[in-house]
Structure 1
Amino acid sequence: MLEPRDAADLAELVADAAASGRKLELRGGGTKADFGAPREAEIVSLAGLTGVVDYDPAELVLTVRTGTLLSDVQALVAGEGQMLAFEPWGDEGATIGGTMAAGVAGSRRVTAGSARDHLLGLTAVSGRGEVFVAGAKVVKNVTGYDLPKLMAGSWGRIGAMAELTVKVLPHPREVVTLAARGLSPVAAHAAMACALGSNAEVSAAAALSDGTVLLRVAGFAPSVEARCAALPGLLAAHCGLEPLEDAAPLWQQAMTGAGLKGAVHWDVHLPPRAAPALIAALPEGADWAMDWGGGRVWVCSDAEDDAVRQIAAGLGGEARLIAAPAAMRARVSAFQPRAKGVAALEARVRRAFDPKGVFVTGRFAEDADADALSA
């Protein structure tokens, strides 16, 4: 395992791999190592690139090295009464760089935006072994190509991030969860849509397979109290509501799919209105949880086929294979197959940053398309 100490060290390792034709897989905490097909590649651990470079709470800007633990970053900003607005989550050992590379966002994404919306700037190394800087520490100073948005969710296929700058926000003074019980998927979606579309400023909405619907209200205490008082009347035609004291475990299930039954885990993104139809079409025995008001549905089952992906595609959505036995991951691609033109465009973008295919490890099915392009 290669363990660079800084961006210059990382650039040298990548340049050497490009010159010798070796494949490198970038890794932070290794919590997502089983995502994608089994493969053989030399591991570059970015876990040694740790520490805060600059944090200005008054300006709501944090610059940190990518191997820093996500939990440490969250604790740091929480100490200043702030938060990462896109509500990232991860297993123990997850890093801020890996979280950003995977584009991880939690329940608040539906109102606060995704990881890419809060990544202001970065220092990274391309597949050529060249260090490049993109973005800036304030949004209004970002000009030219918005490369940070390209890097967020790229899964280390176009460059190795060594340092990143993120926007933080003040943590709400009070957070309350209101819950409804016993709702069907259709009724749950209708209630969430009504709540999110109301003037109650609900910041997150989720539903579980046992019929529970969760609505989160956050802000200053008087405002939260007033909005919580108004919501039962606004949703009277859909359901009753009650405050929920210990809502964290339920939000965790809705946000991550944790606790759902089945060895095969899918992350389905689709138009929220299509979520009930997806659930109705799932194979018998499948477990599920809705987040983002229905825009994300976690699906778990023991069926080792791509039926869930086919159902999602038929409803205008797509499904990522998050976890499965190795044999299935070798057979079924992690990402929804793209249309031919889109796949070609994505491959050419990756090749522009990585002409030698250093980061093309076989982890993703579309890696084969990248190898067919000229450098």
Structure 2
Amino acid sequence: MLAAMIAPDLDLAADPAELTADLIDLESVSGGEGPIADAVEAALRRLPHLTVHRDGDAVVARTELGRDERVVLAGHLDTVPLPTVPGARGTVPSSWEEADGHRVLYGRGATDMKGGVAVQLALAAALTEPNRDVSYVFYDHEEVDAAASGLGRLQRNAPELLEADFAVLLEPTDGTVEGGCNGTMRFRITTTGRAAHSGRSWIGENAIHKQADVLARLSAYTPRTITVEGLDYREGLNATGIGGGVAGNVVPDTAHVEINYRFAPDKTPEEAVAHVREVFAGYELEFTDLSAAARPGLDRPAAAAFVAAVGQEPKPKYGWTDVARFSAMGVPAVNFGPGDALLAHTDDEHVSAEAVRECYRALAAWLTD
């Protein structure tokens, strides 16, 4: 209760675009979500039509109207670290600008995903009698390793709070429904050699040179585009980091390359692992992260009704999102939120006020029509 008393006051009846600015001003880089979670919890507890639950820095608010159908609206509270480039506008606090006749909000999390969270909060306050029961889920630690996910923790600690017939994750999609998502894995390939003085390099065995074959395989690899339930998912296999070396006069005895594989939802995680083992046959792969893909599920009645309500042709989601967690629980889920995903994590991250308002209108119409 003390946390709720000292939490910053959020006005959930405000314009969702202005509420987005208020949320950006609550800095919440992964690991520091406490203040924004406190503010969200305090605001939701003032709404008598909702029951509110807190688990760490995750907050769940639910209507209990006995409707025939329950849907989840979910979003994460954390952001990636703030820009370090001098003059970057996608930082904290937020700032407004006029561009081509549109009001545009700059700040870390504007697109990923405080615009979506603002829409959730505004809907939670405004819809006292929605046509479906709604669970509003706000969670921490999305922008870090999957093992730390607040949604994953909720799934372990209180899975009943996530049970639903359909889920909408308000990740930025430019207001278009994006079905399913690619899976993602990260792994490391380490090569070893024998250290020696570089002036007598023939005595040693250069571990960095041994990475040439690994990099050649990556360069020669042709990623596929795979159609799943009518949506085309593009895969990708890329080196994302490389390291090795001891000193400028030492032949290194160890080197490593970090690799990320984005795989289509036609594959299970086990099949994706088997694929990369085949590509890098002869090497030992050290897996550091693995998250399943999610099939679109757009043929489910609840999903089809939502797509019809939005009125746009759905697209595939190339990046991994937490729709995969809902899919694993048997809950069909889509991504739908304000802002351009290409602006997420950038130094000038921004979203237009109208994009936030339009997302709010679309979801409000679906939940009240």
| TM-score class, shorter | under 0.3
TM-score w.r.t. the length of structure 1 is 0.26
Compare CA radii of gyration and give the structure with the larger one.
2
The one of the two structures with greater contact order (alpha-carbon pairs below 8 A, sep at least 6) is 2
TM-score, reference length from structure 2: 0.26
